[in-house]
């Protein structure tokens, strides 16, 4: 079970500020599951407009954070890393539920379990927690695609 600091996370995700939504990996068991953290601060760029009088993390970004944790699990399971020749895409999001708002000062605990992989499609069961409360959950389907060489067009 490998933990990862932010420098190691950056090796596995192509995302960068302001769209990097995983700060640390607490544990990762390739082929099985990952537990990661996102520290939500008042400095997040979305809080200025969502909503100035009551800052709430957008649900789509909670789902994105779960997908980024899933991406790390995918790359660790497949034995690779993100690079400029590949991209990690959503294929589907099912049964997404948002149970409680996430606000500045919260720490999201991102729990993602691999359910199966078939023909390059990875399916995960994912939930985000703040302390002991589930704040969001969803089934995620993702894939890694190789980008075409732009110079060959």
Q: pLDDT tens digit string along 83-141?
A: 888 889 999 999 999 999 999 999 999 999 999 999 999 999 999 999 999 999 999 99
For residue 86, the domain's CATH number is 3.10.129.10
| Mean pLDDT computed over 21-25 | 98
State in Å, rounded, how far the first CA of the chain is from the last one: 43
For residue 118, give its domain range.
6-152
Question: Whole-prediction pTM value?
Answer: 0.94
Instruction: Tell me the per-residue pLDDT of 35-56, one tens digit each, with 9 for 90 and over.
Output: 999 999 999 999 999 988 999 9
User: How many structural domains comprise the chain?
Assistant: 1
Nearest residue to 108 via CA among 121, 126, 87: 126
Question: Catalytic residue at 50?
Answer: yes
Q: Is residue 1 part of a domain?
A: no
- Residue 150: the pLDDT is 52
3-state secondary structure of 27: strand
- Which of 7, 50, 53, 54 is catalytic? The answer is 50
Q: Is residue 107 part of a domain?
A: yes
């Amino acid at each position: 079970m490998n933990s990862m600091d932010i420098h190691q996370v950056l090796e596995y995700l192509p995302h960068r500020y302001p769209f990097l939504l995983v700060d640390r990996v607490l544990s990762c068991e390739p082929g099985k599951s990952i537990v990661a953290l996102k520290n939500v601060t008042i400095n997040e760029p979305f809080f200025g407009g969502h909503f100035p009088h009551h800052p709430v993390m957008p649900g789509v970004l909670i789902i994105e954070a779960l997908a980024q944790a899933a991406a790390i699990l995918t790359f660790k399971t497949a034995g690779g890393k993100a690079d400029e020749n590949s991209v990690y895409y959503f294929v589907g999001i099912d049964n997404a539920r948002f149970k409680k708002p996430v606000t500045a000062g919260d720490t999201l605990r991102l729990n993602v379990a691999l359910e199966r992989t078939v023909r390059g499609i990875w399916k995960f069961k994912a939930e985000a927690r703040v302390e002991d409360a589930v704040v969001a959950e969803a089934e995620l389907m993702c894939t890694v695609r190789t980008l075409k060489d732009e110079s060959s067009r």
